[in-house]
Every structure is written in structure tokens, then in C-alpha cells.
Amino acid sequence: MGGFNNRIGPLNQLFRIDGQVVVITGATGLLGRKHAEVVAAYGGIPVLLDLNQANIDAFASELEEKYNVPATGMVVDITNETSIEENCALLIKKFGAISGLINNAANNPKVEDSDGKNFSRLENFPLDIWNQDIAVGLTGAFLCAKHYGNAIAENPAGGSIINISSDLGLIAPDQRLYMKEGLAADQQAVKPVTYSVVKTALLGLTRYLATYWADKNVRCNALCPGGIENGQDSAFLAELHSRIPMGRMANADEYQGVIIFMLSQASVYLNGAVIPVDGGRTAW
């Protein structure tokens, strides 16, 4: 007859994150906006980091108006440690504590054809693009974990770090999907190597962080989204759909439930987990 365990508070409040400051990188991109919106909808204070102040300000006002939370945002290039450090100090001064970090920003590598070669191909892939992709997707996540993560560890209540990986952090890209008829082999575009490398490396960062501050109640988990339908051509879509048990790509808002789960008390014992949300693609 133990009665109900009440350590996590009322069950109907399990997903609330009222007043909690959550830093989101790449917050004005396609998915970043969705992450920020669900944070605001559940009472959290989204801190929007991206590269364009006008876009950030417009989106922060939208969130503030719709959800009545003091959404805020700044230009922070996550490859610049000084900029992160200064921003982190500013947030602590303004809000007192940080509770969440969503490492979401990444280059979505699109490499243009030139001189009859396709530079997305491994044999042509330029070192400077490798370095840029690693700098944003991986080094940026490390630097944010170092500073915002440490601030979360200093928060007596702890908090949650989410790394946005990909289904391609779990499986290799199927390069046949990107092949175009009539193009020579050296002109066929491929999913760049950096995407696989960055997304897989984030799983290592997730496990490292999950154990590093566990005694300070900082949890870290990875979300591996499948691709989002966003105007791709119909031949590509038909091929990709045939590789997904649910037979479709995702809508951009279909990750919000897992994001708020991972941030809130609803996932209080979830730590070091790698969660594919991909319509079953990686189950096949």
C-alpha cells in the first residue's frame, strides 16, 4: 500500500518546464524554431542562438506574444568560444541559472558542382569544407556543452542537454537515393562524409556528457530525427519513402514531443539514451 510516489510532482505537470532557461543553437532554422516553440509552450524560456539578429528578434517577439514567456536571443557563432563564454555569463546575470541546452545547429552541407566534378564526393571533398562542417556540428556542440553545460551543472536543480544527431548517425547514407540518371559517376552527388561523421560523433559526446555531470543531475540524451519533407523532388521522395516503414518523411513538428520529454521531469531517469525518431527507418 505504498500510495503514489510524488517525487516528480503532479503527473499532469510532468512535462512543464516553467521558468527554465533553455539554450537552443541554430534556433531560427527549420527544426530550431520547433524546439523553441515547444519550450515556450511548456513555460520554459527559450534562448535563441543563431547568426542573424533580425531573424532572432522577430522570432523571439513571436514566441513572447504567443506564449507569454520572456523569449530572448542573440547572435552567437557557436564556433567562437569567446562569444559563447560572453553569452553564457550574460544569461547567468540575466536569469540566474540555465536548465537546458539543445545542440541543434549544423551545416546542412550542400556542395555545388563545378568543373564537371562533384565536390560532395569523398574523392573531391575539400578539406576546408570538412573543417567548416566539423567546426559547426561537432566543435560547436562541444563548446556549448563546455560553457552552457557547465552552467547547468552549477544549477542546483541540474538540467538536460539534448544533442540533435540524425538517423544518419545510426546508419550510412544510401547514396543510391541521390543518383541522377545521365550523370557520369564523378558527377553524382552524395551525402557528404561530414554529415555521417558529425552525427555519429555526437553520440559519443552524448555518452560522455551523460556520465560526466550525472552526479550534478545533468542528463544528456541524443535525438536522431529522420528526414523532413521539405520540397524534395518526387522521384527522390518515392525512393526514400520505400525505405521507411511508415512510408513517409517527417513533418517538422513531429519531434516536439520528444524534445519536451527529454527536457522535462517526464524523462527524469533517461540519461545517455540515443532515440531514433525516424518512422522506423533504422529498424529496417
Contacts of 231 (CB under 8 A, 6+ apart): none
Question: What is the rounded CA–CA span in Å between residue 249 and residue 30?
Answer: 15
User: Least Å distance between CB 36 and ligand NAD?
Assistant: 11
User: Least Å distance between CB 124 and ligand NAD?
Assistant: 22
Does 166 contact ligand NAD by CB under 6 A?
yes
Nearer to ligand NAD, 252 or 268 (CB): 252
Residue 132: other Cβ atoms inside 10 A = 15
Residues 225-244 that bind ligand NAD (CB under 6 A): 225, 227-228
Is 219 within 8 Å of 160 (Cβ atoms)?
A: yes
Nearest residue relative to ligand NAD (C-beta): 29
Please list the residues that pair with 75 across neighbouring strands: 50
User: Least Å distance between CB 104 and ligand NAD?
Assistant: 5
Nearer to ligand NAD, 187 or 251 (CB): 251
Say how many residues touch ligand NAD, by CB under 6 A: 24
Residues 242-271 that bind ligand NAD (CB under 6 A): none
Greatest Cα pair distance in the chain = 75
Residues 125-144 that bind ligand NAD (CB under 6 A): 136, 140
When binding is defined by CB under 6 A, the residue of 105, 218, 240, 277 that contacts ligand NAD is 105
Nearer to ligand NAD, 25 or 264 (CB): 25
User: Least Å distance between CB 199 and ligand NAD?
Assistant: 7
Nearest alpha-carbon partner for 106 in 21, 40, 169: 169
Question: What is the rounded CA–CA span in Å between residue 129 and residue 99?
Answer: 33
Please list the residues that pair with 25 across neighbouring strands: 49
Residues 15-74 that bind ligand NAD (CB under 6 A): 25-26, 28-32, 49-51
When binding is defined by CB under 6 A, the residue of 13, 41, 79, 254 that contacts ligand NAD is 79
Question: What is the rounded CA–CA span in Å between residue 202 and residue 189?
Answer: 25
Does 102 contact ligand NAD by CB under 6 A?
no
Nearest alpha-carbon partner for 170 in 139, 210, 134, 201: 201
User: Least Å distance between CB 160 and ligand NAD?
Assistant: 17
H or E segment and range at residue 161: strand 159-164
Is 140 within 8 Å of 105 (Cβ atoms)?
A: yes
Tell me the angle at which helices 30-41 and 256-263 cross, rounded to the nearest 10 degrees. 50
Residues that bind ligand NAD (CB under 6 A): 25-26, 28-32, 49-51, 77-79, 104-106, 108, 136, 140, 164, 166, 225, 227-228
